[in-house]
Structure 1
Amino acid sequence: MTDMITISGASKHYGDFKALDDVDFTVPSGSLTALLGPSGSGKSTLLRSIAGLDHPDTGEITIAGVDVTGVPPQQRDIGFVFQHYAAFKHMSVRENVAFGLKIRKRPKKEIKAKVDELLEVVGLAGFQGRYPAQLSGGQRQRMALARALAVDPQVLLLDEPFGALDAKVREDLRSWLRRLHENVHVTTVLVTHDQEEALDVADRIAVMNKGRIEQVGSPDDLYDRPANAFVMSFLGPVAKLNGQLVRPHDLRLDRQQLPASFAATVERVAHLGFEVRVELRPKSGAEGLSAQITRGDAKVLDLHEGETVYVRATRTPEIPAPVG
């Protein structure tokens, strides 16, 4: 697979703050790559640099083999969708989606056919006459994606596109975006701070921290083989066990002591739908930790606060816990 986007040695400062720190990064053609990290990690700055909305102090950006480092945004052949999409309130859904094609002076017949096709693809075929105020938040973001795709961009950039929506709508739109990408295959870069969103939607994830990329790989690679403690900690909950980090679902609870297990007191049992979180305090005086077990296991163990259980790891962590 060839690379659609290549970033070499990109650095960006805002006063004393280093937003990008000598970043090297590639995005394969046709991929859906997520930039994942906490606030201030540099992910939005990197996305905006690809778009041409920000300009790195140093480094080079190429799209489809062309150096676009000094090229203005409108000449980079990209589509961009923000968290708060600025739709034209006085225009219908059809007019909003068609806008980019009209300013490019495409023939009316071509515009109609393209808009009809995209409205069908994004599930808004029956809404073309409505105005943005008459749409739900999820529908407005689907309109925004249709508008970005209308001009057949080489690259689609999504900056926290579902961040302002409630949890159920975000979940539905994640599934929809994955299906959409499988249909249109446009190279897509998604910025998110939501680990579940990145793991669910992307085929590649780049984890960012303090302006640098800590690790790039498939969701399985990053979750099962994190490069360091930061990546492991950011991609889901962790517990510290004997100086190492371990996933709570990799902890096994038993009523009897087994090899490599230790005694702990049950401090709280929280039923969270399909799973149960058990908060534990090791008898040794070590810091507390949580285990995630199935409802079935919880029923068999019949755990209650104040009881003693024995804890062991079913999977040995691959990286040490951070010092201190």
Structure 2
Amino acid sequence: MTISVVGANRRYGDFAALDDVSLEIPSGSLTALLGPSGSGKSTLLRAIAGLDDLDTGTVYINGDDVTRLSPQRRDIGFVFQHYAAFKHMTVRENIAFGLKIRKRSKSEIATKVDELLDVVGLTTFQSRYPNQLSGGQRQRMALARALAVDPKVLLLDEPFGALDAKVRDELRRWLRRLHDEVHVTTVLVTHDQQEALDVADRIAVLNKGRLEQVGSPDELYDHPSNEFVMSFLGTVARLNGSLVRPHDIRLGRTPDLALADADAATAASGVLRASVVRVVHLGFEVRVELRNAATGEEFTAEITRGDAEALRLRDGDEIYVRATRVPQLATATA
């Protein structure tokens, strides 16, 4: 089921939560709405769900105008950050709830619930109550409950935000596998850049109520439309006016760091002198925190453990730096 949002506007007094947002979400995709707090991503999700009204604009699901339809008539599954489980019901009863109120037959309910318990890995926990589950298990139960009624669209509003980092990582991978199995059109709201890059087919970046860029994770990471998108999708450093990724920085003990066949932007970033503030070993990678000798500005480079060992970096060392790649921002070349 495709989702189309055309010319969406929503204001709260002087605050523009959505400012002329138009977005196409392909059928069967997993699209992340990514942005900082107040960017409009949750407002957009709630408008798709029918939980918030738009001032102006139209929402289509599979070509049908649903802008004025109630949430119950949109065939949407919704999962919030907080699980909203029925505490007096078992896992099995929670998952079956939506089917029961739709008056499905007992045999159909049993078959569907068994299937979903297996898909989300909760078969052995089906007789437990929500307070007997871990946070990750409760969220998987919530996803199963949303999927039980075969929604046209699955909407996830920061579903893993209340979980610790390790469980969040596990559930991200699990959600991606689940989506590959069920293929329901899914929209995920998140402020976590890594989560969006890890899970989504497509990412829509919002900022101050406006849509900045839409594309695949690779497209947005490698070809950001502007400085905001580039800086929001990962750490950046500024070398002689150019924004670069930390892993696209080369370090050397001498200024002889010429780059063969460098493009104009990379060549323009030049070679600069910096001092080492701190060296942090992160397994295979090493993060080198640096200070620009000319401006005093601090920035970070990421190099391999082998390169770090070869350079023998120590705090306070003088080092030379250049970019190996400078992304071409659309706003910089327009």
- Tell me which interval the TM-score lies in, with the shorter structure as reference length: over 0.9
Determine whether 1:161 maps to 2:159: yes
Q: 1:291 aligns with which of 274, 292, 301?
A: 301
* One of 13, 16, 22 as aligned partner of 1:15: 13
Partner of 1:276: 286
The answer for the alignment partner of 1:86 in structure 2 is: 84
The answer on 1:309 being equivalent to 2:307 is no
Q: 1:18, 1:166 → 2: CA distance?
A: 32
Partner of 1:236: 234
- 2:192 matched residue in structure 1: 194
Contact 1:249 1:291 in 2 (8 A): yes
| Partner AA of 1:274 in structure 2 | F
Letter in 1 for 2:177: R
For residues 261-272 of structure 1, the aligned pairs below 5 Å read: 261-272=271-282
Q: CA deviation at 1:97?
A: 0.2
TM-score, scaled to structure 2? 0.94
| AA of the residue aligned to 2:26 | P
SS at match of 1:97: helix
Question: For structure 1, which runs of at least 5 residues remain unmatched after alignment?
Answer: none
What CA distance in whole angstroms lies between the structure 2 residues aligned with 1:188 and 1:228? 26
Contact between 2:223 and 2:327, CA under 8 Å: does it hold in 1?
no
Counterpart of 2:2 in 1: which secondary structure?
strand
Aligned partner letter, 1:20: L
Deviations 1:92-149 (A, max 9, x none): 0000000000000000000000000000000001111110001000000000000000
Deviation digits for residues 239-275 of structure 1 (CA, Å, limit 9, x no counterpart): 0111111001100001122234222111211222332
Aligned residues: 320
The separation in 1 between residues aligned to 2:197 and 2:330, in whole angstroms, is: 23
Q: Deviations over 1:167-189 (max 9, x none)?
A: 00000000000000000000000
Alignment of 1:26-175 (within 5 A): 26-175=24-173
CA drift of 1:85 comes to 1.2
Per-residue CA deviations over 1:141-172 (Å, capped at 9, x if unaligned) read 00000000000000000000000000000000
Counting aligned pairs with the same residue, the percent is 73
Task: State the secondary structure of the residue aligned to 1:220.
Answer: helix
CA contact (8 A) 1:240 1:321 kept: no
Counterparts of 2:98 and 2:30, CA distance in 1: 23
Greater than 4 Å deviation, 4+ residue runs: none
Q: Which amino acid aligns with 2:309?
A: K
Partners of 1:5 and 1:62 within 8 A in 2? yes
**Partners of 1:120 and 1:285 in 2: how far apart?**
58
Which TM-score applies when normalising by structure 1? Answer: 0.96
Aligned residue for 1:191, secondary structure, equals strand
Separation in 2 of the partners of 1:120 and 1:185? 17
* 1: CA distance, partners of 2:14 / 2:99: 42
- 2:328 counterpart SS class: coil
3-state SS of 1:20 partner: strand
Does the Cα contact within 8 Å between 1:244 and 1:320 map onto a contact in 2?
no
Structure 2 portions without partners, runs of 5+:
259-269
Contact 2:224–2:327, Cα closer than 8 Å, also in 1: no
The answer for the alignment partner of 1:217 in structure 2 is 215
- Pair 1:185-2:195 in alignment: no
